Structure 1
Amino acid sequence: MKITGNLIDGTILDTSTGETIDVTNPADSQQVVGRVPAMTAQDIQSVYGAAVTGARIWRETGVLARGEILQAAAACVRDESDMLARLIVQEMGKTLAEARVEVKKTADFFDYYAGQARLPYGELLADGRPGTYARVVHEPLGVVLLITPWNDPLLTPARKMGPALLAGNAVIIKPATATPLIVLELARIFNTVGLPAGVLGTVTGRGRDIGGSLLEAKALKAVSFTGSTSVGLELQKQLAGRPVRVQTEMGGKNAIAVLADADIAVAAKEIVSGAFAQAGQRCTATSRVVVVRGVADQLIAAIREHMLALKVGAGDAEGITVGPVVSAAARKEIFDHIDRALGESAELLEGGAHPPEGVSEHGAFVSPTLLRVTRDQAIWRDEVFGPVLGILAVDNEQQAIEAVNDSDYGLAAAVFTSDLGAAERFITQAEAGQVSVNHPTTGWDVHHPFGGFGYSGSPFKEQGLDALQFYTRTKTVAVRAL
């Protein structure tokens, strides 16, 4: 069992009270895999105090030196990749193969932003006044708070920390209560490779106990949040009226359109991967399929065939392709969605509101589920953060696009077609921040700008060069030589 403290001012510390929170294994709730401090409001003050000092030091550190720290952290993540991947499996539940991909992409994020240190920054502008030149400068904001989720407990922190640190900010990170251990390991790595004290601080604890203290701090300049839509919207309300920048990456109800000329074999394979990998617990997971009626039966048969090959179990067991969901509470919520859909006359094609055979009764396992649905059922609109896929048949391409857009969310969408014109029409008309052709809704690389429309998120994009915009402010300077 791993027992560890938070990184505060360059030192790993316990709480002022000594109270802890148990971290359990989703594949076996009776197994405690670690304990972390349950921090208090007083502890939060210490973290912010260190961050204010750290922000001054880090701002004055050259951008090349910042990049070197990120590069060193990336190398350390790769060196410790096996341990980190196994820890992700233990506290989050995804398969070992999925965890290894997450660790690799985490290192890729840090390397990518380390490389940005050598790009041009700022610009010179003409000025109409004699003997004067102007320039644009991009400055760090100061102290930023990152609130990260449990479904990608290492990758999402890296997605936010990379640009935030390169830009020169001090970072305070609050991981999800269910999966804090991997973030504390990441903090240890940054501390080991020489990040100055105070530049990174970690916060573990229950939101009801420390949420107010985290958001009320006068030093806070920006919050980047990934999580549920309800929490993200509440966060926006709490910070409204203050000079605090807010970035939210929230829910999704991602849809794939399968047109009449699609390669059904390819579409079915990618749909099953997009819907059921990581037990459907990805913001970009495919949760709706809209298929032109003439090929609907063929597609359903192919999807079911792939689903029957899935094997559910503990993420570190041999041959497992779908791990548990994160907790028993999450499993119950998913089962409630399925039961409600069946009560509203959805047709069960595979799976259902029950765990698969042969798994531990103490694990949060869910059978991958396929439902034939209609647009007037709650399952069509409500986000189900788990391995549940709804399928709807329509008459033509235009109806398919309309159905894909029939959502308050707008994170990811995809189309399967052999018609380039149809693909371009879909790209133009799809109301989503991420659009794929003949690929699933998942699978975005570290240099791809990422973020959704509508209730899926705020205008600020993550990843790529766009991410740096959120963590910097623009200053215009005019200089007259006398």
Structure 2
Amino acid sequence: MFFQFNENETLPGALSCYHKYTSNDLLYSTSPIDNTLLARVSCINAEQYEKFVQIAQENFLKWRNIPAPQRGIFVKRFGQEVQNKKGELAQLITLEMGKPIRESLGEVQEIIDICDFAVGLSRQLYGLTIQSERPEHKMIENWHPLGLVGIITAFNFPMAVWAWNSTISWVCGNVNIWKPSEKTPLCALALHKIVSNLVREMNLPDISFVFTGDYKIGEQLSLDKRIQLISATGSTRMGRQVARNVASRLGKYLLELGGNNAIIITESADFNLVIPSVVFGAIGTAGQRCTSTRRLIIQESIYERVKEALVHAYKQVKIGDPNDEQYHYGPLIDENAVILYEKSIQSAVFHGGKLLYGGKRIESSELKSKNYVLPTLIEVEKDNPIVQEETFAPILYLLKYKTIQEAIEINNQVAQGLSSAIMTLNLRESELFTSQNGSDCGIANINIGTSGAEIGGAFGGEKDTGGGRESGSDSWKNYMRRQTTTINYGINLPLAQGIKFEI
């Protein structure tokens, strides 16, 4: 496969991937499918960090002077290369992260789609012309590249989230430094290899760098004044630290953090849509999406019907090797994730929750690791403290409501504010849900689930989710700096606000 690396192979702007190495400064990439050691990856050291940041600064001065449509040509070529290697990249995601191959193919398609979006964007990085209060004056708004953009990504989407940021950042004229999750370094190196080969072929400067290592690399980037923007995806705890570090130097940050997402099921809901939406939202990627459905808020008159249908559906879920398309999901990322799954269930039950289905690991000789767990349904009251927590696992909490206003209150009662949904055929309910009195999340869906987003819409959430927006719409403005210019084309010098100054 193209993503196999030779021993001691060096990629420009990235650390090498080793299968034999004696240093202690290593990441161990292990497949959650069977705990096989895939590779040892060397971590960046202080000398290498400084060298690469300096190179990135120098290359930015070259890259920003290439017209944006030409930068878009590079992104177009990159998207074509990803398309050509779609199957192999998807296999690597499944191998290193453990998500089903169908979902991995979808993740790679996200990269291809965002490349298309960014290529079009490269010809419309528009500003404004603003009416001036002074005669024979006009104001215009210019947008310029930021410089160096640091991208910190999580394990659950080890390729796509970087692409959301990097492709738009590239057409805006920036150079990117990527700190991937220490759990999925090979996914980062594979994409970096495509970028490295392409910049050589097109005679361009290195515009992408990969810094492998643990959380300390992210801390270093967030404290480095030379990094104009930090875009970080991960837990709320991590995001708070990034925000503190970047704010301490008055830098810019874009945060896409935790999600504790809910679907409201109303009396008028189309039942043909309800169960598929809920089940995929709750168990897709083994519940390891930031948009995974974690709470189900059900109108009390249909509660028993929904509960019975869900238990029946969960009994049909197939769990196994994610390379086999017959299975709905595979393993959790590692043993720590399984322990958190178990502790969350124990907490929910301890505080009065009722276990309806699942709640344990799968013990089977056919599975080659202990990272596989049953999808879990738990009946809880809205004051159960567990509903405030985001657990990256296939656990769904069921709650009752009486009125639509109460349902919206339950939806909004958690600290996170990423994705939300309502299943209803009632126009008043759907309009209320998306009004200023409705969901307080960055995403509010109607008659679809919480999970899965198209690249055309800005992605992100409010409250403890961080307030950032990645991907579509006008999110490109995060990767540029705004400059207001006033032009006097007359022969007089009037001042704003009618101020008189004579000399």
TM-score (norm 2): 0.90
Report the alpha carbon displacement of residue 13 of structure 1 after superposing the two structures with TM: 4.9
Q: Provide the secondary structure at the position in 2 that maps to 1:60.
A: coil
Deviation digits for residues 151-173 of structure 1 (CA, Å, limit 9, x no counterpart): 01111111111211111111000
Q: Summarize the Cα distance change of 1:343–1:198 in structure 2 as closer, same or farther, 3 Å threshold.
A: same
- The 1-side partners of 2:340 and 2:366 are apart by 19
Structure 1 Cα separation of the partners of residues 34 and 397 of structure 2: 29
Contact map agreement 2:28 2:37 (CA 8 A) in 1:
yes
Which residue of 2 is the match for residue 24 of structure 1?
Answer: 30
8 Å Cα contact 1:292/1:395 also seen in 2:
yes
Deviation digits for residues 305-324 of structure 1 (CA, Å, limit 9, x no counterpart): 22112111121124111111
Change (3 A) 1:399 1:127: closer
Specify the alignment match of 1:372 in structure 2.
379
In the alignment, the residues of structure 2 paired with residue 396 and residue 130 of structure 1 have an alpha-carbon distance, to the nearest angstrom, of 58
Q: Is the 8 A contact 2:459 2:470 kept in 1?
A: yes
* 1:204 equivalent in alignment to 2:209: no
* Aligned-partner SS, 2:76: helix
Q: Which residue of 2 aligns with 1:306?
A: 313
1:104 aligns with 2:112: no
State the number of aligned residues. Answer: 478
Instruction: Report the Cα distance in structure 1 between the residues aligned to 2:146 and 2:388, rounded to whole angstroms.
Output: 37
Partner in structure 2 of residue 179 of structure 1: 184
CA contact (8 A) 1:248 1:457 kept: yes
Q: Give the 3-state SS of the residue equivalent to 1:272 in structure 2.
A: helix
Aligned to 1:71: 76
Aligned with residue 249 of structure 2, among 235, 242, 258: 242
Which of 430, 442, 448 is the matching residue for 1:433? 442
Residues 418-451 of structure 1 show CA distances to partners (whole Å, capped at 9, x for unaligned) of 1111111111111111001110001210111111
8 A Cα contact 1:7 1:201, kept in partner: no
Structure 2: state its 5+ residue gaps: 492-503
Q: Which residue of 1 aligns with 2:263?
A: 256
Q: Select the structure of larger CA radius of gyration.
A: 2
- CA positional deviation for 1:480: 4.0
Instruction: Tell me which residue corresponds to 1:43.
Output: 48
| 1:397 CA displacement | 1.8
Q: Take 1:354 and 1:135, find their aligned partners in 2: how far apart are those partners?
A: 61
- Is this contact kept in 1: 2:125–2:143, CA < 8 A? no
- Residue number among 436, 460, 475 corresponding to 1:451 in the alignment: 460
| Corresponding residue number in structure 1 for 2:229 | 222
Match of 1:279 in 2: 286
The superposition leaves residues 38-86 of structure 1 with CA deviations (integer Å, 9 ceiling, x where unpaired) of: 1112221112111101111111111011100111010000100111000
Q: Tell me if structure 2 keeps the 8 A contact 1:274–1:441.
A: yes
User: Partner of 2:232: helix, strand, or coil?
Assistant: strand
CA gap of 1:356–1:257, structure 2 versus 1, over 3 A, is farther
2:32 maps to a residue whose letter is: P
Once residues 406 and 378 of structure 1 are traced to their aligned partners in structure 2, the CA distance between those partners, rounded to angstroms, is 11
- 1:347 aligned residue (351, 354, 357): 354
Counterpart Cα distance in 2 of 1:202 and 1:17: 22
In the alignment, which of 439, 454, 465 is matched to residue 473 of structure 2? 465
SS across alignment from 1:360:
coil
CA 1:12 to 1:332, structure 2 compared with 1: closer, same or farther past 3 Å? closer
Deviations 1:82-121 (A, max 9, x none): 1100000010000111100111111111111111112262
Report if the CA contact (8 A) 1:3-1:35 is conserved.
no
Shift of 1:129: 5.0
String of CA shifts for 1:432-481, please: whole Å, max 9, x gaps.
110011100012101111111110112x3112132211111111123345
- Alignment partner, residue 496 of structure 2: none
Given that 2:151 and 2:178 are in contact with CA atoms closer than 8 Å, whether structure 1 keeps it comes out as yes
Deviation at 1:17, TM superposition (A): 9.0
3-state secondary structure, aligned to 1:407: coil
Instruction: Give the Cα–Cα distance (whole angstroms) in 1 for the partners of residues 365 and 434 of structure 2.
Output: 43
Mapping of residues 385-400 of structure 1, within 5 Å? 385-400=392-407
Task: Report the secondary structure of 1:313's partner residue.
Answer: coil
Q: 1:197 to 1:7 in 2, by over 3 A?
A: farther
**What is the CA–CA distance in structure 2 between the aligned matches of 1:272 and 1:192, rounded to whole Å?**
41
Q: Does 1:335 align with 2:319?
A: no
Query: What percent of counterpart residues are identical?
Result: 29
Return the letter of the residue paired with 2:106.
Answer: V
* Residue pair 1:53, 1:198 contacting (<8 A) in 2 also: no
1:471–1:77: structure 2 CA closer, same or farther, 3 Å change rule? same
Change (3 A) 1:281 1:293: same
Cα displacement (A) at 1:214: 2.3
Q: Quick one: distance in 2 between partners of 1:17 and 1:60?
A: 43
Taking a change above 3 Å as real, the CA distance of residues 12 and 174 of structure 1, as seen in their structure-2 partners, is closer
The residue identity in structure 1 corresponding to 2:320 is G
Q: Does the CA contact (< 8 Å) of 1:264 and 1:298 recur in 2?
A: no
In structure 2, C-alpha distance between the alignment counterparts of 1:8 and 1:289, rounded to whole Å: 47
Provide closer, same or farther for how the CA distance between residues 158 and 84 of structure 1 changes in structure 2, counting only shifts above 3 A. Answer: same
- Rounded to whole Å, the distance in 2 between the matches of 1:446 and 1:186 is 19
Among 423, 432, 448, the alignment partner of 1:416 is 423
Return closer, same or farther for 1:374/1:128 CA change in 2, 3 Å cut-off: closer
Gaps of 5+ in 1: none
Alpha-carbon distance change, 335 to 14 in structure 1, aligned in 2, over 3 angstroms: closer
Give the stretch that moved more between structures: 198-207 or 276-285.
198-207
- C-alpha offsets along residues 180-225 of structure 1, whole Å, 9 cap, x if unaligned? 11111111112222273332111101223x3443233331111000
Deviations 1:367-397 (A, max 9, x none): 1000001122222111111100000112222
Equivalent residues of 1:265, 1:302 under 8 A apart: no
The 10-residue stretch of structure 1 (349-358 or 395-404) with the greater mean CA deviation from structure 2: 349-358
Is the Cα–Cα contact under 8 Å of residues 15 and 43 in structure 2 kept in the other structure?
no
Cα displacement string for residues 115-146 of structure 1 (whole angstroms, at most 9, x for unaligned residues): 11122622333445565443211001111100
Q: In terms of mean alpha carbon deviation, does 413-422 or 37-46 score higher?
A: 37-46
Shift of 1:363: 3.8
Match of 2:67 in 1: 62
Question: When the two structures are superposed, what TM-score results if normalisation uses the length of structure 1?
Answer: 0.94
State how 1:4-19 maps to structure 2 within 5 Å: 7-9=11-13, 13=16, 19=25
Report SS of the residue matched to 1:186: helix
Question: 1:6, 1:454 → 2: CA distance?
Answer: 42
